[in-house]
Amino acid sequence: MKKYLLRVGAFCLDMLIVYIIASIICLIPFINPNVDKIDENQKALQQEYELAKDLSEKTENYIKDNKINQFEYKEILDQFPTYYELFKDVVIDEELKDEFKDNIKNNINEKYTGIYNDYTYTINKMSLIQTVVTIITCLLYFGVLSFINHGQTLAKKLLRLKVVNTRDEEKDIPLWKYLISAFLICETIFTITNLIMINVMPKNAFINVSYWVKQTQFLYELAFLICLVLREDQRSIHDLLLGTSVILLDKEGNKVPDPIYPLPDTTQEVKDDKVVKEVKSSPKKTTKKNSNTKKVNKKKEEVKAEKIND
């Protein structure tokens, strides 16, 4: 298996462990007094999602006969009071306008998006302590724990991976490098940015800016992944910045050599060169041999001629 696949798998498993630890800590009321309110808002948001989905499906049936009857109108009023304003101009048992039929689904989605933004803003506003706990847990887990375990988190130990100094694998990596690495790979800069924005910006501004922050975060993640996959030494951006590498260990704890990338096969080229040289040198030898033969024959003829003359 490629080492970068093991690294990605180890990172995902480590993040799951961090999330579980942070969630358990945040369930303690005296640490996170807003835990119940956050839970209530999350459940209410889920309920709004189900309502919007249900209404969107039922609306398809409502408008099939090109009108909304009294029973359907009452159902909207009783079961979907949040969305009632979208149907307030509908006249019972009268033909629906094309504009209404064309736009009703989009209007339901827009209404739900507004409700979703309200709830998420409120939840983020109340999640200050939860966010801080998550940041601290990430730094402790990926930074301090890796330092104590000499380059291994729980998942790295499970998959036999280890962070080492690139120039000297026997040399210990200082704690500050592990902490910076944790800061980079956990995308803490974006978490802190979101934390600042939620506390200084009004709701609409926060929603608009957070969209672009998320796009930037996606590009950040993509750059790390591309660097990890495309480089032959499988070092990502934080490895290059901090002078670290990740090695694979065998069951005895010894380093497994990285695969050697095949060099061009020069053996055949050497053989071909030799053949060419032999071919080039052959005519010269033949020519020289023929020349000597001609001289010998000429000499014989001269001797024979002298004998005849005598």
Asked if residue 298 is part of any domain, the answer here is: yes
Per-residue pLDDT, averaged over 225-253, amounts to 91
On whether the CB atoms of residues 234 and 7 are closer than 8 A, the answer is yes
| Structure token digits, residue 19 | 């999330």
| CA-to-CA separations, 289 to 86, 188, 216, 281, 285, in angstroms, rounded | 107, 83, 79, 13, 6
Q: What is the DSSP string of 114-151?
A: HHHHHHHHHHHHHTHHHHHHHHHHHIIIIIIIHHHTTS
Asked if residue 135 is part of any domain, the answer here is: no
pLDDT confidence tier of residue 101, bands split at 50, 70 and 90: confident
Instruction: Give me the amino acid identity at 71.
Output: F
Asked if residue 151 is part of any domain, the answer here is: no
pLDDT at 310: 47
How many domains is the chain built from?
A: 1
C-alpha span between 92 and 89 (Å, rounded): 10
Q: Percent of the chain beyond pLDDT 90?
A: 53
Per-residue pLDDT, averaged over 110-126, amounts to 92
| CA-to-CA separations, 98 to 63, 66, 268, in angstroms, rounded | 10, 9, 77
* pLDDT tens string 40-80: 999 999 999 999 999 998 888 888 888 888 898 888 889 99
Main-chain phi, psi angles of 163, to 5 degrees:
-85, 130
| Structure token digits, residue 281 | 């040198």
**Residue 285 pLDDT greater than 90, yes or no:** no
Asked if residue 67 is part of any domain, the answer here is: no
| CA-to-CA separations, 274 to 187, 277, 280, 285, in angstroms, rounded | 59, 5, 10, 16
Structural domain span for residue 299? 266-310
**Residue 259 pLDDT greater than 70, yes or no:** no
pLDDT at 301: 58
Asked if residue 297 is part of any domain, the answer here is: yes
Per-residue pLDDT, averaged over 248-263, amounts to 74
* pLDDT tens string 144-201: 999 999 999 999 999 999 999 999 888 999 999 999 999 999 999 999 999 999 989 9
Asked if residue 296 is part of any domain, the answer here is: yes
Strand, helix or coil for residue 219: helix
Per-residue pLDDT, averaged over 234-238, amounts to 91
Asked if residue 103 is part of any domain, the answer here is: no
Asked if residue 186 is part of any domain, the answer here is: no
Work out the mean pLDDT of the chain and round it to a whole number: 84
| Structure token digits, residue 117 | 């933004």
User: Exposed e or buried b for every residue in 15-48, given b needs 16+ CB within 10 A?
Assistant: beebeebbeebbeeeeebebbeebeebeeebeeb
pLDDT at 1: 58
User: How would you list the strands of the sheet with 244-249, edge to edge?
Assistant: 161-165, 244-249, 255-256
pLDDT at 234: 87
Per-residue pLDDT, averaged over 131-142, amounts to 95
C-alpha span between 123 and 227 (Å, rounded): 35
Looking at the DSSP bridge assignments, the partners of residue 284 are none
- Prediction pTM value: 0.73
pLDDT at 258: 72
Considering only residues 121 and 2, tell me which one the structure prediction assigns the higher pLDDT.
121
pLDDT confidence tier of residue 100, bands split at 50, 70 and 90: confident
| Structure token digits, residue 70 | 């009294």
Taking the CB of residue 49, how many other CB atoms lie within 10 A of it?
14
